[in-house]
Structures are given as C-alpha cells and as structure tokens.
Amino acid sequence: MSQFKQLFLMHLKMTFREKQAWFWGLFFPVILMVIFMFIFADSSDEDFEASVAVVEESPNEISTAISDQMEIIPTLVVEHELDDRSEAEELVEDQEVAAAVVLPESEDESSILLIVNTEDEQSTSTQVVSGVLNNIVQQMNLQVVGATETYALDFETISSSEHELSYQDFLLTGLIALAVAQGGLFGMVDLVDMRRKGLIKRLRMTPVNMSLFGFSDMIMRLLFSIIQIIVLALIGVLLFNATLHINLLGLVVLFIVGALSFNAIGYFISSFSKTTEAYMGVANIFSFLMMFLSGVFFPIDMMPEWLHPVAHVLPLTYFAEGLRDTMVYSIGIESSTIWFYMGVMALWGVVAYIIGSWLYRRKSIVATR
C-alpha cells in the first residue's frame, strides 16, 4: 500500500501538469456538447413543419376542398396563397418554401401538381409534403367512387421505460462516455515521456512493481473521470434542460468498469509508443473512430449496415449505451444488458492491461541488460 500511495501521488502531480490530458478529457467534450446542444437542442419531431406555397389560379369546389384539407394538417404551413404559378416557382427556386402545390383550375382536372427544388428533392420536408398530398388524393378518390374505408392504420408507441430519451439526453450521455474514454486514451501520454527520458528504466532497477505502477495511474485517472461526469452532467442539466433519471448503483458500477477499461487501453498504447507524437497519433485514430461510430452524436441504426459490425466491436458503443440506460432510463445492474455492456468493456480493459504490462516489463528488462 505504501508503494501504491507514492505511485498514485506521483501520477496525480504529473496529471495536473499535463495540459493535453485536461483539454482532451474535459474541455474538448464541453466544447462539443455546447456546439451540438445549441444546434439541435430545440429540434423536435413534434415541432416539425414544412412550409408550402399554394397556387389557386381559378378557385373551384375541388381546389377549395384540397386547400381546406391542407390548412388543417399541422405539419404543413401554408405561407403563401398565390394565383400565379411563376411566382410560386420562384419561391421554390430560392428555397423560401419546401414546395409549391398547384391546385386544379377546374373540377374536370384530375391532377394536383407538386413543384419542388431539385436540390431538396430527397429532403424530409419534401417527402412529408408529398406524403400528405398523396393521402389527400387517395381520400378524394374514395369519395368520388363512393367507397367506404374498410381498413385504417392506428399508431401507438410503447417504451421499455417510463422515461423518454430526448436528443439532449442522448447527446449528454454520449459525450460523457466520450469524455471518459478520451481521458483514459490521452491521459497516459506522460508515461511515454517518462520512458523517453529513461525514468521507466530507472524505476525498473528499483523494487517498484511495474503492474502496480500502471494500476496506480489508472486509479488516478478514475478520479479524473469522476470530475468529468459531474461537470458535463451539470452543464447538460442546468444549461440545456437535459433530464436524467439516474440509477446510482448501476451508474457507479458501469462507470468504474468503463473508466478503468479505457485507462487500460491508454496504458496499452503508451507501452509501445516510442514518442509523444506517436502516442497522440494512435490515440487520436482510435478516439475519432469511436467518436463517429459508437453512437455518440447519432444512433448507430442511422449508419450504413456495413458499419454496424465495426460499431458493435468498439468499447465506447457499450459504454455510451450503458450510460443512457443507467442515467436516463434508470436501469440498474439487475439488467442482463448492463452486465453484457460491462463484460465487453472489461474484456477490452483486461486484455489491454495484460498486454501493456507485459510490454513494459519486456522492454524495461531489455533496456537494462
């Protein structure tokens, strides 16, 4: 314990002097969260609206009926009611409206013209307007032939939890996971500098246990990760109205396993990196790979299917999902899913720590011969 205490204090002092670790572990995730929260915090599927221009050159019973139907649909906002098609085309061309709807000029016409901008043809707004108009046309066709609706589509949502996941909650938990991961990945850069200066070699010539040397650094990083999760959670809740329903026991256990695992991965990277630049290069590659493929900023289901196997291998995927379960859905350690997440992360951590310790012992022995 005396040796562990001295090594722990040594790593603590070195960390306070390491500006890169503070930036990547704390300030970088805060900057990302503020940027993404300001961009997406106010977006909501319930508030989605598509602006349209309606052209009614010759009002008639059919055109009036269609116009009335469009007025009562909440997702469509009729910003312009025109009698000139060319003016509507200019609005679409300038992207001032999502689409323009040209209503039939007489009751004998059987088509409704939808005008959209080619650049926005595949956009969500265009698809919504097209779907709404298609539904109106189908209803009118049924009325014309005197048919009655036999089948109807009912929509209902269910959730495994009583708490809903907003984008603020999704992003907050994802960035907390990213911050802890980066704290572990980039936090071990001081070990590379120590080896380059010959300090590791000197430690190997003393009775210091090299496995204990790495473990003490990992424990110190664990305390640093606690600061990360507290700071980011407070910013998300107080400034961006994120809603957390924390299962404390589940969060603590998952957090410890995740933080130690990423610290072990950083320890492993430091074991074979000969320079600080090499260490930062490897850590950056691994960090950015996980950042965009582990469901930090958007769900994994939105990615191409061929990327799903890669995402399901990365440890940050399971750490982010586990934090969402324990911090938003209030799921505890009694859940088999949480144990599975911890198992994958622990496997990464144990393998990385064992290989890293072996490399440190091997290189140190060779260096002292």
For the stretch 259-282, pLDDT in tens is 889 988 988 998 888 888 888 888
For residue 203, which of 352, 363, 355 has the smallest C-alpha distance?
363
Cα–Cα distance for residue pair 65/51, rounded to 1 Å: 19
Instruction: Read off the tokens for 263.
Output: 């610290």
pLDDT given for residue 25 in this prediction: 60
Per-residue pLDDT at 117 exceeds 60? yes
Instruction: Read off the tokens for 359.
Output: 């490399």
Q: What is the pLDDT of residues 33-84, one digit of tens each?
A: 778 777 765 554 445 677 888 888 888 888 888 888 888 887 778 877 887 8
pLDDT given for residue 244 in this prediction: 85
pLDDT given for residue 28 in this prediction: 73
Q: What is the pLDDT of residues 157-185, one digit of tens each?
A: 555 555 566 778 888 888 888 888 887 88
Look at the pTM and tell me if it is higher than 0.75.
no
Residue tagged 């933080």 (tokens): 259
User: What is the radius of gyration, based on Cα positions, of the chain?
Assistant: 29
Q: What is the mean pLDDT of the chain?
A: 79
Q: Which pairs count as long-range contacts for 136-145, CB under 8 Å and 24+ apart, including other chains?
A: 136/66, 136/69, 136/70, 137/112, 139/69, 140/62, 140/65, 140/66
pLDDT given for residue 45 in this prediction: 45
pLDDT given for residue 139 in this prediction: 77
Name 43's Cβ contacts closer than 8 Å, sequence gap at least 6: 167
Give the least confident one: 227-231, 241-245, 331-335, 361-365.
361-365
| Of 292 and 167, the one with more pLDDT | 292
Angle between helix 315-327 and 248-272 (nearest 10): 160
Per the CB < 8 A criterion, the answer to whether 52 and 97 are in contact is yes
Per the CB < 8 A criterion, the answer to whether 307 and 226 are in contact is no
Cα–Cα distance for residue pair 69/357, rounded to 1 Å: 70
Name 135's Cβ contacts closer than 8 Å, sequence gap at least 6: none
Name 211's Cβ contacts closer than 8 Å, sequence gap at least 6: 357
pLDDT given for residue 81 in this prediction: 82
User: DSSP for 2-36?
Assistant: HHHHHHHHHHHHHHHH-HHHHIIIIIHHHHHHHHH
pLDDT given for residue 368 in this prediction: 40
Name 111's Cβ contacts closer than 8 Å, sequence gap at least 6: 104
Residue tagged 């998300």 (tokens): 236
Domains defined for the chain, CATH in brackets: 2-42+166-368 (no CATH), 47-145 (3.40.1710.10)
The stretches of the chain forming alpha helices (DSSP H) are 2-17, 19-22, 28-40, 61-71, 85-93, 124-145, 167-187, 189-196, 199-204, 210-240, 248-272, 276-293, 308-311, 315-327, 336-368
Cα–Cα distance for residue pair 248/254, rounded to 1 Å: 10
What's the pLDDT band for 19 if we cut at 50, 70, 90? low
